[in-house]
Amino acid sequence: MSSLSAGQPYLQAELFRPALQYPSHPYDEILTHSAQRYPENVALVFKEVTLTYREMDALVNAFANALVGLGIRRGQTVSLLMKNRPEFLISWFAITRIGAVASPLNPSYKAREVAYQLSNSDAVAVVVQHELLPLVEAVQAETPLLEHVITVGSSEYVSALHTNSFAFLVQSHLPTPPEHKEWAWDDLVALPYSSGTTGLPKGVMLTQKNLVYNLCQQLATSRITFLDHMLVFLPLYHIYGIMVMGLAAMSGATLVLMERFDLVESLQLIQEQGITLLYAVPQVLAAFNDYPHLLNYNLSTLRYVQCGAAPVPPALARRFETLTNVTVMTSYGLTEASPGTHSNPVYNRRLIKVETIGLPIHGTEQKIVDIETGQIELGVGEEGELIVRGPQVMLGYWKAPEATADVLRDGWLYTGDIGWRDEEGYVTITDRKKELIKFKGFSVAPAQIEALLLEHPAVADAAVIAKADTEAGEVPKAFVVLRAGYEMLSSDELLAWANGKLATYKNVREVEFIDVIPRNPSGKILRRLLKEQERQKPS
């Protein structure tokens, strides 16, 4: 039997959560096994492209053989620079199939950011969408280890770089498995980079064990099967997208892929493709809630919507559930944990607490520890830093031993997220450790104030930052996006409404109305940009 998660009901923990039996094969074979079990099941739908698991596995083999032919070896880094498209998945599994390390880049990066990641990761090859080739060309002098540039798609741009065509490489190599490769559980598989909201992004070293075990942990919680159809518009370069790719491949489910989120197109695909699982971020839920024609679409096939990557305001989730009768399943993870560590129990709607991130998933331990020392474990209802331990926790940060030592201590991953647990072990995240506002010695969580502001009918989006104050040290300032039709609402009226529901030390001191809240691709608020704008204002 596995050890019990804190506070779980006896019967559920003892009878329905036995220890997982993990597979003994490498990460890339999750796709091979599904191709063997469900060869003609549809693996991928993208616009007019449909690929079965048999076809997908064969394409992966062909590209893997092409990479071997180029001289790429076990342990070398191959970067991916493209938007959501079938070639991303094929490249991802092919890289891992030969024992190389896949390092995805954000396609919205500028040249400086591309140069940094290609150089820092020691990339020897990059698979790049043809339209993004000028970025790679611009940083050629800064990436001396980069030997191979493989282009996906076509455009009128003519590059001075020597490139290989992805399509030609796949067509000119056999779709049979590459020769047997050596591998070990501690071999690196993926090197995604952290979002870099503070300082330079860091490469997160994820191993065979991290990824394979975490997929098993999550499948045991989410109960995805080969009958499911998963709609994905999340960026595949992000750990959230990487996770969903793996869940589909391991379960044999059908992945319906979009290049980016489009409200109407996503609703059409849910209806036309019989989507059973939708992966979203809070801003997507908000868009659905505000769409006046939402109920014109048949959403009855949806089993649940998984919402994560950023704090999910409970009011947002509950409104979606009321409108659609579709369950919102909140969960939690971070790149450093491959990513999943917590989830609400989707198999029993009555056990879901949408205001929380849920319970630790199989094989995962949790503690809430005091913020200052990180040593003393706190009790029920006491707020501190969430730390986790399990087989999905990263090996460390790439070329950053000091940063690794700061977050990995005695096997525990210090998440940097502040929260508390209830009697049953459900965890509520209140904010990021680095983003807490210090008001006269009191800690104020911006996310708590943001969630409150979003309950006001006039507020479409909100962000709260610390503003310097000579007397208090820091005070909360809110940036608010108003809904159409509420432009006459004054900042004083909103302040009075919000502060009437907050403890005095949490009171918002200022509201500024803006057009849009800056966020990264996963939906996290980029507070540093708002703080920088605030610093640049004349005093």
What's the CA gap between 502 and 484, in Å, rounded? 26
- Give CA–CA dist 66/68, Å, rounded: 5
Q: What are phi and psi of 59, to 5 degrees?
A: -65, -40
Strand partners, 408: 413
Q: What is the pLDDT of residue 6?
A: 43
Angle between the N-to-C axes of helices 239-251 and 86-97, in degrees from 0 to 180, rounded to the nearest 10: 80
Q: Are 252 and 230 in contact (CB under 8 A)?
A: no
Residue with tokens 């009555």: 350
Query: Are the C-beta atoms of residues 437 and 472 closer than 8 Å to each other?
Result: no
At 155, the amino acid letter reads S
Token pair, residue 476, equals: 């909360």
What does each C-alpha distance from 21 to 130, 163, 216, 217, 395 come to in angstroms? Answer: 43, 44, 9, 10, 22
How far apart are the C-alpha atoms of 279 and 233, rounded to whole Å? 8
From the list 122, 119, 32, 31, the residue with the least C-alpha distance to 75 is 122
Give the separation between CA 232 and CA 464, rounded to whole angstroms.
29
The pTM of this model reads 0.83
Contacts of 348 by beta carbon, 8 Å cutoff, 6+ apart: none
Amino acid letter at 192? P
pLDDT tens digits, residue range 492-518? Answer: 999 999 998 887 888 999 999 999 999
Q: Do 237 and 260 contact (CB within 8 A), yes or no?
A: no
Cβ atoms of 494 and 510 closer than 8 Å: no
The tokens for 162 are 């020597």
As a three-state string, the secondary structure of 218-232 is HHHHHCCCCCCEEEE
Beta-strand (E) ranges in 373-525?
384-389, 396-397, 408-409, 412-421, 427-432, 437-439, 442-444, 459-469, 473-482, 510-513
Q: What are phi and psi of 182, to 5 degrees?
A: -80, 150
What's the number of CA atoms in the CB half-sphere (13 Å) around residue 486? 16
Q: Kindly tell me the burial class for residue 373, based on how many C-beta atoms sit within 10 Å of its own C-beta (0-12, 13-18, 19 or more).
A: exposed
Structure tokens at 377: 């474990």
Query: Omega before 339 cis (within 30°)?
Result: yes
511: which 2 tokens? 């509201």
With tokens 């909201």, the residue in question is 197
**Residue ranges in the chain modelled with pLDDT below 70:** 1-17, 155-160, 195-199, 441-443, 522, 539
* Confidence at residue 294, expressed as pLDDT on a 0 to 100 scale: 97
Kindly state the tokens that stand for 243: 């996770």
Q: Would you state the pLDDT for residue 199? A: 56
**CB environment 199-234: b (16+ within 10 A), e (fewer):** eebbbbbbbbbbbbbbbbbbbbbbebeeebbbbbbb
Domains of the chain: 443-536 (3.30.300.30)
**pLDDT for the residue 312:** 84
Residues in the chain: 539
Q: How far apart are CA 320 and CA 419, in angstroms?
A: 25
The pair of structure tokens assigned to 437 is 């506002």
DSSP 444: E
Cβ(154)–Cβ(168) under 8 Å? no
How much is the mean pLDDT over the chain? 91
Separation of first and last alpha carbons in the chain = 62
